[in-house]
Structure 1
Amino acid sequence: MRRQTATSGINPAGSSRALRLDPLSLPVRFEAHDTRADGGVRNIELHRERVVLRRAIGGMQMAINVRVSDFLGVALRGIDDAQMLVLAHRDPSLTIPLCVSSDREEIAVAGQMWSDIFALPQIKEDKTRQPAPRRRRHNAIRARRPKFLVRRRAGGLINPANIHQGEREIIARD
Protein backbone atom coordinates (compact mmCIF):
# COMPACT_ATOMS: atom_id res chain seq x y z
CA MET A 1 0.00 0.00 0.00
CA ARG A 2 1.41 3.40 -1.02
CA ARG A 3 1.56 6.26 1.46
CA GLN A 4 0.32 9.58 0.14
CA THR A 5 2.39 12.65 0.91
CA ALA A 6 2.67 16.11 -0.52
CA THR A 7 5.64 14.99 -2.59
CA SER A 8 4.11 11.77 -3.91
CA GLY A 9 1.62 13.25 -6.31
CA ILE A 10 -1.22 14.36 -4.06
CA ASN A 11 -2.27 17.85 -5.03
CA PRO A 12 -2.53 20.29 -2.13
CA ALA A 13 -5.86 21.95 -1.43
CA GLY A 14 -6.19 25.32 -3.05
CA SER A 15 -4.05 24.41 -6.05
CA SER A 16 -5.32 24.65 -9.58
CA ARG A 17 -5.63 20.86 -9.74
CA ALA A 18 -8.37 18.91 -7.96
CA LEU A 19 -7.80 17.48 -4.50
CA ARG A 20 -8.56 13.76 -4.21
CA LEU A 21 -7.46 11.89 -1.11
CA ASP A 22 -7.78 8.13 -0.99
CA PRO A 23 -9.61 7.04 2.19
CA LEU A 24 -8.23 3.49 1.86
CA SER A 25 -4.59 4.56 2.15
CA LEU A 26 -4.55 6.31 5.52
CA PRO A 27 -2.49 7.91 7.05
CA VAL A 28 -2.36 10.78 4.58
CA ARG A 29 -0.24 13.91 4.80
CA PHE A 30 -1.02 16.97 2.66
CA GLU A 31 -1.11 20.76 2.59
CA ALA A 32 -4.25 22.90 2.59
CA HIS A 33 -4.97 26.58 2.14
CA ASP A 34 -5.24 28.56 5.41
CA THR A 35 -5.69 32.33 5.24
CA ARG A 36 -4.66 32.95 8.86
CA ALA A 37 -1.46 30.87 8.78
CA ASP A 38 1.94 32.23 7.83
CA GLY A 39 2.47 31.57 4.14
CA GLY A 40 -1.23 30.73 3.73
CA VAL A 41 -0.60 26.99 4.12
CA ARG A 42 -1.20 24.44 6.87
CA ASN A 43 0.04 20.84 6.97
CA ILE A 44 -2.52 18.16 7.76
CA GLU A 45 -1.92 14.58 8.86
CA LEU A 46 -5.07 12.50 8.57
CA HIS A 47 -5.21 9.19 10.47
CA ARG A 48 -8.15 6.89 11.19
CA GLU A 49 -8.41 8.00 14.84
CA ARG A 50 -6.99 11.53 14.80
CA VAL A 51 -6.14 14.58 12.72
CA VAL A 52 -2.99 16.65 13.30
CA LEU A 53 -2.98 20.24 11.98
CA ARG A 54 0.36 22.02 11.83
CA ARG A 55 0.63 25.71 11.06
CA ALA A 56 2.48 28.84 12.07
CA ILE A 57 0.75 32.06 13.08
CA GLY A 58 2.88 35.12 13.73
CA GLY A 59 6.02 33.01 13.66
CA MET A 60 4.76 30.65 16.40
CA GLN A 61 4.61 27.00 15.33
CA MET A 62 1.63 25.02 16.57
CA ALA A 63 0.32 21.49 16.21
CA ILE A 64 -3.34 20.78 16.96
CA ASN A 65 -4.28 17.16 17.61
CA VAL A 66 -8.03 16.49 17.20
CA ARG A 67 -9.81 13.15 17.55
CA VAL A 68 -11.90 12.14 14.53
CA SER A 69 -14.86 11.53 16.85
CA ASP A 70 -14.84 15.28 17.71
CA PHE A 71 -15.83 16.16 14.13
CA LEU A 72 -19.50 16.60 13.23
CA GLY A 73 -19.38 14.54 10.06
CA VAL A 74 -18.54 14.52 6.37
CA ALA A 75 -20.16 17.51 4.67
CA LEU A 76 -20.54 18.80 1.14
CA ARG A 77 -19.72 22.41 0.27
CA GLY A 78 -20.37 24.13 -3.01
CA ILE A 79 -17.55 26.16 -4.53
CA ASP A 80 -17.41 28.02 -7.87
CA ASP A 81 -17.74 25.26 -10.49
CA ALA A 82 -17.09 22.22 -8.30
CA GLN A 83 -18.05 20.74 -4.96
CA MET A 84 -15.82 20.10 -1.99
CA LEU A 85 -16.14 17.27 0.50
CA VAL A 86 -14.94 18.30 3.97
CA LEU A 87 -14.55 16.81 7.42
CA ALA A 88 -16.72 19.36 9.26
CA HIS A 89 -15.95 20.60 12.78
CA ARG A 90 -17.81 23.01 15.07
CA ASP A 91 -14.86 25.37 14.74
CA PRO A 92 -14.63 26.34 11.04
CA SER A 93 -10.85 26.75 11.26
CA LEU A 94 -10.53 23.01 12.04
CA THR A 95 -12.56 21.86 9.01
CA ILE A 96 -10.48 19.59 6.74
CA PRO A 97 -10.89 19.36 2.92
CA LEU A 98 -11.08 15.76 1.66
CA CYS A 99 -12.04 15.92 -1.99
CA VAL A 100 -12.71 18.57 -4.63
CA SER A 101 -14.42 17.58 -7.86
CA SER A 102 -17.04 18.73 -10.34
CA ASP A 103 -18.35 15.17 -10.79
CA ARG A 104 -21.35 14.72 -8.47
CA GLU A 105 -21.21 10.93 -8.58
CA GLU A 106 -17.54 10.87 -7.63
CA ILE A 107 -18.28 13.20 -4.69
CA ALA A 108 -21.17 10.99 -3.54
CA VAL A 109 -19.04 7.81 -3.63
CA ALA A 110 -16.13 9.52 -1.87
CA GLY A 111 -18.47 10.96 0.78
CA GLN A 112 -19.86 7.50 1.55
CA MET A 113 -16.36 5.99 1.80
CA TRP A 114 -15.06 8.74 4.13
CA SER A 115 -18.20 8.47 6.24
CA ASP A 116 -17.80 4.70 6.60
CA ILE A 117 -14.09 4.86 7.41
CA PHE A 118 -14.46 7.55 10.09
CA ALA A 119 -17.84 6.23 11.35
CA LEU A 120 -19.27 9.73 11.07
CA PRO A 121 -22.60 10.81 9.56
CA GLN A 122 -22.92 12.50 6.20
CA ILE A 123 -24.13 16.07 6.49
CA LYS A 124 -26.12 17.28 3.49
CA GLU A 125 -25.36 20.98 3.85
CA ASP A 126 -22.37 22.40 5.67
CA LYS A 127 -23.72 25.64 7.11
CA THR A 128 -21.13 28.02 8.46
CA ARG A 129 -21.18 27.48 12.20
CA GLN A 130 -19.92 29.64 14.96
CA PRO A 131 -17.17 28.18 17.13
CA ALA A 132 -18.40 26.56 20.31
CA PRO A 133 -18.10 28.76 23.42
CA ARG A 134 -15.12 28.05 25.63
CA ARG A 135 -15.86 25.61 28.41
CA ARG A 136 -15.05 26.44 31.99
CA ARG A 137 -12.15 24.55 33.39
CA HIS A 138 -13.10 22.09 36.09
CA ASN A 139 -10.44 23.41 38.45
CA ALA A 140 -10.94 27.12 37.75
CA ILE A 141 -11.23 28.07 41.44
CA ARG A 142 -8.62 25.70 42.79
CA ALA A 143 -5.92 28.38 42.92
CA ARG A 144 -8.14 30.79 44.87
CA ARG A 145 -8.21 31.15 48.64
CA PRO A 146 -10.59 28.80 50.47
CA LYS A 147 -13.97 30.27 51.37
CA PHE A 148 -13.40 30.37 55.12
CA LEU A 149 -10.12 32.26 54.63
CA VAL A 150 -11.84 34.82 52.43
CA ARG A 151 -14.31 35.58 55.25
CA ARG A 152 -11.54 36.05 57.84
CA ARG A 153 -10.06 39.46 58.29
CA ALA A 154 -6.42 39.74 57.42
CA GLY A 155 -4.10 40.59 60.31
CA GLY A 156 -3.71 44.28 60.96
CA LEU A 157 -0.56 46.19 61.81
CA ILE A 158 1.36 45.17 64.88
CA ASN A 159 0.51 47.23 67.93
CA PRO A 160 3.42 49.67 68.41
CA ALA A 161 3.03 49.45 72.21
CA ASN A 162 4.25 45.83 72.11
CA ILE A 163 7.51 46.69 70.38
CA HIS A 164 10.38 47.19 72.79
CA GLN A 165 13.31 49.04 71.37
CA GLY A 166 16.52 50.21 72.97
CA GLU A 167 16.37 47.83 75.97
CA ARG A 168 19.46 45.93 77.07
CA GLU A 169 18.15 43.44 79.68
CA ILE A 170 16.12 40.36 79.41
CA ILE A 171 13.85 39.78 82.37
CA ALA A 172 12.95 36.21 83.25
CA ARG A 173 10.77 35.29 86.23
CA ASP A 174 11.47 32.30 88.41
Structure 2
Amino acid sequence: MRRQTKTGGINSAGSSRVLRLDPLSLPVSFDAHDIRADGGVRSVELHRERVVLRRAVHGMRMAVNVRVRDFRGVALRDVNDAQMLVLAHRDPSLTIPLCVSSDPDEIATAWQMWSDIFALPQLHEDVREPAPRRRRHNAIRARRPKFLVRRRCGDLLNAANIHQGEREIIARN
Protein backbone atom coordinates (compact mmCIF):
# COMPACT_ATOMS: atom_id res chain seq x y z
CA MET A 1 0.00 0.00 0.00
CA ARG A 2 1.56 3.30 -1.11
CA ARG A 3 1.09 6.49 0.89
CA GLN A 4 1.41 10.01 -0.38
CA THR A 5 3.39 12.69 1.42
CA LYS A 6 1.81 14.86 4.09
CA THR A 7 1.62 17.99 1.94
CA GLY A 8 -0.58 16.27 -0.62
CA GLY A 9 0.26 14.72 -3.93
CA ILE A 10 3.42 12.78 -4.61
CA ASN A 11 5.68 15.84 -4.46
CA SER A 12 7.96 16.54 -1.52
CA ALA A 13 7.13 18.97 1.26
CA GLY A 14 9.31 21.67 -0.26
CA SER A 15 7.53 21.60 -3.60
CA SER A 16 5.77 24.76 -4.71
CA ARG A 17 2.84 22.88 -6.26
CA VAL A 18 -0.62 23.45 -4.90
CA LEU A 19 -2.80 20.79 -3.27
CA ARG A 20 -3.48 17.94 -5.69
CA LEU A 21 -4.33 14.48 -4.38
CA ASP A 22 -4.37 11.39 -6.57
CA PRO A 23 -7.74 9.58 -6.33
CA LEU A 24 -6.26 6.37 -7.72
CA SER A 25 -3.74 5.95 -4.88
CA LEU A 26 -5.99 5.78 -1.82
CA PRO A 27 -5.52 5.74 1.17
CA VAL A 28 -4.06 9.24 1.38
CA SER A 29 -2.69 11.02 4.47
CA PHE A 30 -2.10 14.77 4.46
CA ASP A 31 -2.33 17.89 6.64
CA ALA A 32 -5.00 20.51 6.02
CA HIS A 33 -5.64 24.00 7.32
CA ASP A 34 -7.97 24.18 10.36
CA ILE A 35 -8.41 27.50 12.17
CA ARG A 36 -9.86 25.90 15.33
CA ALA A 37 -7.10 23.32 15.80
CA ASP A 38 -3.95 23.91 17.81
CA GLY A 39 -1.28 25.07 15.40
CA GLY A 40 -3.93 25.65 12.70
CA VAL A 41 -3.39 22.18 11.19
CA ARG A 42 -5.36 18.94 11.20
CA SER A 43 -4.32 15.54 9.90
CA VAL A 44 -6.62 13.87 7.35
CA GLU A 45 -6.66 10.21 6.36
CA LEU A 46 -8.77 9.63 3.28
CA HIS A 47 -9.90 6.07 2.45
CA ARG A 48 -12.49 4.81 -0.04
CA GLU A 49 -15.09 4.14 2.66
CA ARG A 50 -14.16 6.58 5.44
CA VAL A 51 -12.34 9.76 6.40
CA VAL A 52 -10.43 10.15 9.68
CA LEU A 53 -9.76 13.69 10.90
CA ARG A 54 -7.23 14.12 13.71
CA ARG A 55 -6.67 17.42 15.49
CA ALA A 56 -5.99 18.90 18.89
CA VAL A 57 -8.13 21.68 20.35
CA HIS A 58 -6.87 23.37 23.53
CA GLY A 59 -4.53 20.44 24.13
CA MET A 60 -7.26 17.79 23.81
CA ARG A 61 -6.50 15.38 20.97
CA MET A 62 -9.41 13.95 19.03
CA ALA A 63 -10.08 11.76 16.03
CA VAL A 64 -13.32 12.00 14.06
CA ASN A 65 -14.23 9.02 11.88
CA VAL A 66 -16.78 9.88 9.14
CA ARG A 67 -18.18 7.53 6.49
CA VAL A 68 -17.76 8.76 2.92
CA ARG A 69 -21.46 8.23 2.21
CA ASP A 70 -22.25 10.81 4.92
CA PHE A 71 -20.75 13.55 2.73
CA ARG A 72 -23.03 15.52 0.40
CA GLY A 73 -20.80 15.14 -2.65
CA VAL A 74 -17.69 16.37 -4.44
CA ALA A 75 -18.10 20.12 -4.78
CA LEU A 76 -16.40 22.62 -7.08
CA ARG A 77 -15.66 26.00 -5.49
CA ASP A 78 -14.27 29.15 -7.06
CA VAL A 79 -11.37 30.62 -5.07
CA ASN A 80 -9.51 33.75 -6.20
CA ASP A 81 -8.02 32.90 -9.63
CA ALA A 82 -8.36 29.10 -9.31
CA GLN A 83 -10.92 26.42 -8.59
CA MET A 84 -10.94 23.98 -5.69
CA LEU A 85 -12.51 20.52 -5.34
CA VAL A 86 -13.72 19.60 -1.86
CA LEU A 87 -15.44 16.64 -0.29
CA ALA A 88 -18.44 18.62 0.98
CA HIS A 89 -20.18 17.82 4.27
CA ARG A 90 -23.20 19.44 5.93
CA ASP A 91 -20.89 20.55 8.74
CA PRO A 92 -18.38 22.97 7.15
CA SER A 93 -15.67 21.97 9.64
CA LEU A 94 -15.71 18.42 8.19
CA THR A 95 -15.26 19.52 4.56
CA ILE A 96 -12.05 18.09 3.04
CA PRO A 97 -10.00 19.83 0.28
CA LEU A 98 -9.04 17.50 -2.58
CA CYS A 99 -7.54 19.56 -5.39
CA VAL A 100 -6.74 23.17 -6.29
CA SER A 101 -5.96 24.18 -9.87
CA SER A 102 -6.43 27.00 -12.35
CA ASP A 103 -6.64 24.61 -15.32
CA PRO A 104 -10.34 23.97 -16.12
CA ASP A 105 -9.64 20.69 -17.97
CA GLU A 106 -7.63 19.28 -15.08
CA ILE A 107 -10.34 20.27 -12.57
CA ALA A 108 -13.08 18.68 -14.71
CA THR A 109 -11.13 15.42 -14.99
CA ALA A 110 -10.34 15.32 -11.26
CA TRP A 111 -13.95 16.21 -10.38
CA GLN A 112 -15.25 13.25 -12.40
CA MET A 113 -12.64 10.85 -10.97
CA TRP A 114 -13.30 11.78 -7.31
CA SER A 115 -17.05 11.58 -7.88
CA ASP A 116 -16.75 8.10 -9.45
CA ILE A 117 -14.39 6.76 -6.77
CA PHE A 118 -16.59 7.86 -3.86
CA ALA A 119 -19.90 7.28 -5.72
CA LEU A 120 -21.03 10.77 -4.72
CA PRO A 121 -22.75 13.44 -6.84
CA GLN A 122 -20.91 16.37 -8.36
CA LEU A 123 -21.94 19.65 -6.74
CA HIS A 124 -21.21 23.21 -7.80
CA GLU A 125 -20.91 25.56 -4.83
CA ASP A 126 -20.38 29.27 -4.76
CA VAL A 127 -18.52 30.32 -1.64
CA ARG A 128 -20.68 32.90 0.07
CA GLU A 129 -21.02 34.28 3.54
CA PRO A 130 -23.05 32.16 5.93
CA ALA A 131 -26.60 33.28 6.57
CA PRO A 132 -27.15 35.24 9.78
CA ARG A 133 -28.42 33.23 12.70
CA ARG A 134 -32.16 33.21 13.07
CA ARG A 135 -33.61 34.35 16.33
CA ARG A 136 -35.69 31.69 17.96
CA HIS A 137 -39.16 32.72 18.99
CA ASN A 138 -40.03 32.50 22.66
CA ALA A 139 -41.67 29.08 23.03
CA ILE A 140 -42.54 29.64 26.69
CA ARG A 141 -44.78 32.62 25.94
CA ALA A 142 -47.37 30.38 24.27
CA ARG A 143 -47.60 28.01 27.25
CA ARG A 144 -50.09 28.32 30.07
CA PRO A 145 -48.80 29.56 33.42
CA LYS A 146 -47.56 26.81 35.70
CA PHE A 147 -50.29 27.16 38.30
CA LEU A 148 -52.96 26.82 35.60
CA VAL A 149 -51.34 23.67 34.28
CA ARG A 150 -51.71 22.02 37.70
CA ARG A 151 -55.40 22.91 38.02
CA ARG A 152 -58.07 20.76 36.49
CA CYS A 153 -60.76 22.42 34.44
CA GLY A 154 -64.22 21.79 35.90
CA ASP A 155 -67.34 20.77 34.05
CA LEU A 156 -70.13 22.61 35.84
CA LEU A 157 -72.61 22.18 33.03
CA ASN A 158 -71.89 18.50 32.56
CA ALA A 159 -75.04 16.39 33.06
CA ALA A 160 -73.11 13.94 35.26
CA ASN A 161 -72.61 16.69 37.88
CA ILE A 162 -76.34 17.48 38.11
CA HIS A 163 -78.37 14.92 40.04
CA GLN A 164 -81.81 13.77 38.87
CA GLY A 165 -84.65 15.95 40.09
CA GLU A 166 -82.39 18.82 41.08
CA ARG A 167 -82.29 22.11 39.37
CA GLU A 168 -79.11 24.01 38.71
CA ILE A 169 -79.00 27.12 40.85
CA ILE A 170 -77.26 30.14 39.40
CA ALA A 171 -76.80 33.05 41.76
CA ARG A 172 -77.12 36.53 40.30
CA ASN A 173 -76.90 39.91 41.91
Q: TM-score, normalised by structure 1?
A: 0.67
1:125 corresponds to: 125
Kindly, what percent of the aligned residue pairs are identical? 76
**1:112 paired to 2:124:** no
The alignment of Structure 1 onto Structure 2 pairs a total of residues equal to: 128
1:53 corresponds to: 53
Whether the aligned pair in 2 keeps the contact of 1:11 and 1:19 (CA below 8 Å) is no
Listed as ranges, the gaps of 5+ residues in structure 1 are 131-174
Whether the aligned pair in 1 keeps the contact of 2:5 and 2:12 (CA below 8 Å) is no
**1:89 paired to 2:89:** yes
RMSD: 2.2
2:103 corresponds to: 103
2:5 corresponds to: 5
SS in structure 2 at match of 1:23 = coil
User: 1:81 Cα deviation (Å)?
Assistant: 1.4
Whether the aligned pair in 2 keeps the contact of 1:85 and 1:97 (CA below 8 Å) is yes
Question: Which residue type is aligned with residue 108 of structure 1?
Answer: A
Listed as ranges, the gaps of 5+ residues in structure 2 are 132-173
CA change 1:29–1:35 in 2 (3 A) is same
1:35 corresponds to: 35
Q: TM-score, normalised by structure 2?
A: 0.68
- Looking at structure 2, the residues matched to 94 and 23 of structure 1 have their Cα atoms a distance apart, in angstroms, of 19
1:78 corresponds to: 78
Question: Which residue type is aligned with residue 103 of structure 2?
Answer: D
Q: Deviations over 1:31-50 (max 9, x none)?
A: 00111110000000000000
SS in structure 2 at match of 1:25 = coil
Q: Deviations over 1:97-147 (max 9, x none)?
A: 0000010110010000000000000002255678xxxxxxxxxxxxxxxxx
Whether the aligned pair in 2 keeps the contact of 1:101 and 1:107 (CA below 8 Å) is yes
Whether the aligned pair in 1 keeps the contact of 2:86 and 2:95 (CA below 8 Å) is yes
Whether the aligned pair in 2 keeps the contact of 1:75 and 1:125 (CA below 8 Å) is yes
1:62 corresponds to: 62
- Looking at structure 2, the residues matched to 79 and 54 of structure 1 have their Cα atoms a distance apart, in angstroms, of 25
SS in structure 2 at match of 1:108 = helix
- Looking at structure 2, the residues matched to 2 and 28 of structure 1 have their Cα atoms a distance apart, in angstroms, of 9
- Looking at structure 1, the residues matched to 126 and 63 of structure 2 have their Cα atoms a distance apart, in angstroms, of 25
